[in-house]
Structure 1
Amino acid sequence: MSDPLIDSLLGAVEANPADVVLRVHLGDLLLRSGRSEEAVAQAAAALGIDPTSRDARALMGRALGGPAEPVEPVEPVEPVEPAASGRPGFDWESAEADLGDVVPPMYSDGSTGPGEPDAGAFDVEREQLTLADVGGLDDVKERLQASFLAPLRNPELRALYGKSLRGGLLLYGPPGCGKTFLARAVAGELGAGFLHVSLADVLDMYIGSSERNVAELFRTARDSAPCVLFLDELDAIGQKRSLTRNSGMRTTVNQLLTELDGVGSDNEGVFVLAATNHPWDVDPALRRPGRLDRTVLVLPPDRAAREAILRTHLRGRPLERVDVAAIAKRTDGFSGADLAHVCESAAEVALMDSVRSGEARLIRTDDFERALKDIRPSIGPWIETARNVALFANTDGEYDELATFIRKRGRR
């Protein structure tokens, strides 16, 4: 049945659909007339216009059969002045202040902040190793003595013969052959501190921070002189700039070149050693005179060295007449890391036999035989890459020693 007042209010709402008070009043009349569905529609429309309207929410509750929500006067809201910039009513300065400690800056300006190395970020160690602790590698030790250690120990002779100590030494060769161990032994021979650095210690996601890390690294080495600064995996830290599209890596190499030259500071007492498996990927500028200009090839251990390495890794294990010489003969081409793996695997064979029998037994030669059935030299992939470089891209004779080694292995 039509209600003239409701019909009049429907017309008024149609003429002014944004009037929340009018819609609530109309919805209340509809609800009292038993037209609850229409009342719900009016309440929903009012809440769509003003979700904070307590009258509209109360109407919705009654129309849906819930308890009536008491209507209280709403405190007037002070109008918000538009911000100087941005959307009206949004305080950008407060928002930036709130997020300042959560979101780090993208760029570095040299001030204290994210990406800056902490005080003492690089630890200088003291090594007890010497070259006498390195098994075999007599040719490498002789090269180290001639190019590095003897001039350092004999300053009078160095002055007599005009031998310069500028520049550093690059150790290269297949992985797992003891380059890092040699670097530690050199530090021990000199009685110097040892600072071991890899790509993870230098590279930083913030622009400018990687360069600052390199500068901090050399500053730490100078403050700890005499110190051996060992740059591990140099091909990653000092990759050829022509091969990278990352401007951050290029500027990091530039900073490394600057520090090696000692620009703005004195590198006296800082002995730079570096190691890489892929010297052909190192930026050529790093290997110019006065930088890493001396090179030593570290090859897989020979038979005598393999025997010494095996005895070192078997020290303290329970053995029963293990023929170390025979094992060394069978492991030609194995790196030092491979030999350590052979010892671990042989010990594992004996351990599992002891678990199954319930009685501990000693490690025997046949345990090594069983281990060697599943272990192959790990330097194979490196040999293939090195062969292509040494035999087909050795235009200036830089890799003659490597080429000789590759040819000898080919004849075996």
Structure 2
Amino acid sequence: MSADPLIDSLLAALDARPDDLPLRLHLAGLLIDAGRGAEAIAQAGQALARDPGNAQAQAVMQRALGVPAAEPVAPLAQRAVPAGDDPLAAYEQELADVVPPRFARAGDEREPVQGDDDRVYDVESPPVRLADVGGMAAVKERLELAFLGPLRNPELRRMYGKSLRGGLMLYGPPGCGKTFLARAVAGEMGAKFVSLSIVDVLDMWIGNSERNLHELFEAARRSAPCVLFLDEIDALGHKRSQVSSSSMRTLGNQLLAELDGMEGDNEGVFVLAATNTPWDVDPALRRPGRLDRVVLVLPPDAEARAAILEYHLRERPIANIDLRRLVAATEDYSGADLAHLCETAAEFAMADSVRAGVVRMIEQRDLERALSEVRPSTRPWLSTARNVAMFANEGGVYDDLVAYLKRRKLL
């Protein structure tokens, strides 16, 4: 029995009326005054559980925890700012612990590289490795022979006279992981990674596009060993015979000169290019010493599809998913298609939860329903590739594609 009869009476009253918040908070205040802080915290916690926004309950909890009451803060407009200072800068400094800065700082993931004309290029150190890429055994083997093996064995490289210069073009349907694979190669090599697309190069003023292209190659040379990734190479190096713009033809010539190393030493710069339409790339880019190796990146096989589906479902609430059935039903689906499939199934489960007012797991029925809506995006590409394989396979460039189409009985 407590020594304070009033507290005992209030405790008995609360047993009969547990939702009486004023009574509970009054009791918590008496407990604080009596030096019984732990009991006061328990009473204030029960009050906040019933009404989280109750200001009086929050104040009592602060008292029970020994937190000093916050001083009233004057509105920003009423505060004095030193004459001649920037008000926004003063307020930002004052609220630095609460409000994030107006402009984000560069993170540790990217390392800025200064160009000759004060332009700054982002040079990354990708954290991914080839082990993070599901399937693609043939592609990984080709990359091992072309790049990774010579890099890991410098003595053998010198013995056989193998240069670290080189270029390789990845081609295949959209959404099948060409960009991710290029990052994984850089990560596997422990090399830097510079990505280049046509938007990084084009400029309205004559000569500036060529200068931008040169500066991007220079950034890669300064960061060697480095993987320079040329995304959508068909846009940057389109067949010059089909280009009507003289500026684009000049830009294509500049790209050839950079790949040849005429403007600098490309030792330690590994050029990887990606395209969905290799038949639109200028043949001069595939000359030996430039992008002389071509690798077909196909839609993910069964092993890769299982890994991709597991990856995109790993942080979602799922129950009774038949992964083998999904893998069998998603042939020709790209990695992007599989990600969209999981997203669509999540939308269906969430919509049902909203309508029913009860949260439920993502089930096989949601993925089956998503399969009826999400179609593989690679089939139009395969249809076009079939025509190329039949009528435009000069020199056996697309022999890998022909073999794949025959294996799939599409040719």
TM more than 0.5: yes
Partner in structure 2 of residue 291 of structure 1: 290
Q: How does 1:229-248 map to 2 (within 5 A)?
A: 229-248=228-247
Once residues 395 and 226 of structure 2 are traced to their aligned partners in structure 1, the CA distance between those partners, rounded to angstroms, is 33
Retained in 2: the 8 A contact 1:167–1:289? no
Deviations 1:332-374 (A, max 9, x none): 0100010001010011110100010111111111110000011
C-alpha distance in 1 between matches for 2:169 and 2:324: 32
The letter for the 2-side match of 1:192 is A
Supply the AA of the counterpart residue of 2:248: M
**Deviation sequence 1:18-61 (CA, Å, 0-9, x none):** xxxxxxxxxxxxxxxxxxxxxxxxxxxxxxxxxxxxxxxxxxxx
Could you tell me how far apart the structure 2 residues matched to 1:218 and 1:140 are? 25
Aligned equivalent of 2:275: 276
- 8 A Cα contact 2:164 2:268, kept in partner: no
Q: How does 1:53-64 map to 2 (within 5 A)?
A: none
Map 1:40-119 to 2 at 5 A: 119=118
Q: 1:179-237, CA deviations, whole angstroms, 9 ceiling, x for partnerless residues? A: 00000000100111111111111111211111001101011111112211000000001
CA distance in structure 1 between the aligned counterparts of 2:121 and 2:311, rounded to whole angstroms? 30
> Secondary structure in 1 aligned to 2:118?
coil
**1:396 aligns to what SS in structure 2?**
helix
User: Percent of aligned positions with the same letter in both sequences?
Assistant: 65
1:125 shift after superposition: 1.1
Q: Output the CA distance in 2 between the equivalents of 1:226 and 1:167.
A: 12
Task: Tell me the C-alpha RMSD between the 2 structures.
Answer: 1.5
Residue 363 of structure 2 is matched in structure 1 by 364
Cα distance in 2 for partners of 1:395, 1:124 equals 37
Give the distance between the partners of 1:360 and 1:199, measured in 2 at CA. Answer: 46
Runs of 4+ aligned residues of structure 1 deviating over 6 Å after TM superposition are none
Residue 195 (structure 1) aligns with: 194
2:384 maps to 1:388: no
Asked whether the 8 Å contact 1:166–1:291 carries over to 2, the reply is no
Q: Which whole-Å CA distance do the structure 2 matches of 1:222 and 1:166 have between them?
A: 11
Given that residues 235 and 279 in structure 1 are in contact (C-alpha distance below 8 angstroms), is that contact kept between their aligned partners in structure 2? Answer: yes
Work out the CA distance in 2 between the residues paired with 1:223 and 1:307.
Answer: 40
Partner of 1:176: 175
CA deviation vs aligned residue, 1:377-402 (integer Å, no higher than 9, x gap): 10122112111111111131111110
CA 1:117–1:364 in structure 2 vs 1: closer, same or farther (change >3 Å)? farther
How many residue pairs are counted as aligned between the two chains? 297
Contact kept? 1:151, 1:157, Cα under 8 Å = yes
Is the 8 Å Cα contact of residues 165 and 268 (structure 2) preserved in structure 1? Answer: no
CA deviation vs aligned residue, 1:296-346 (integer Å, no higher than 9, x gap) = 110001111100011111111111121122111110010001000101001
What is the CA distance between 1:121 and its match in structure 2?
3.6
Unaligned runs of at least 5 residues, structure 2 = 1-114
Residues 130, 181 of structure 2: 8 Å contact kept: yes
User: Hey, what does 2:134 align to over in structure 1?
Assistant: 135
**What SS does the corresponding residue of 1:317 show, helix, strand or coil?**
coil
Say if 1:166 and 1:375 are closer, same or farther in 2 by CA, change over 3 A.
same
Deviations 1:87-127 (A, max 9, x none): xxxxxxxxxxxxxxxxxxxxxxxxxxxxx996344211110
What is the rounded CA distance, in whole Å, between the counterparts of 1:214 and 1:289 in structure 2? 21
Structure 2 equivalent of residue 308 of structure 1:
307
1:350 paired residue number: 349
* Residue 376 (structure 2) aligns with: 377
Letter in 1 for 2:138: D
Please say which structure displays the higher CA radius of gyration: 1
Q: CA separation in 2, counterparts of 1:228 and 1:167? A: 10
Once structures 1 and 2 are overlaid, which stretch shifts more, 162-171 or 233-242? 162-171
Taking the aligned partners of 2:367 and 2:118, their CA distance within structure 1 comes to: 48
Query: TM-score w.r.t. structure 2 length?
Result: 0.70
Aligned partners of 2:239 and 2:267: how far apart in 1? 27
SS in 1 for 2:170: strand
Offset at residue 407 of structure 1 (A): 2.2
C-alpha separation between the residues in 1 aligned to 2:358 and 2:217?
55
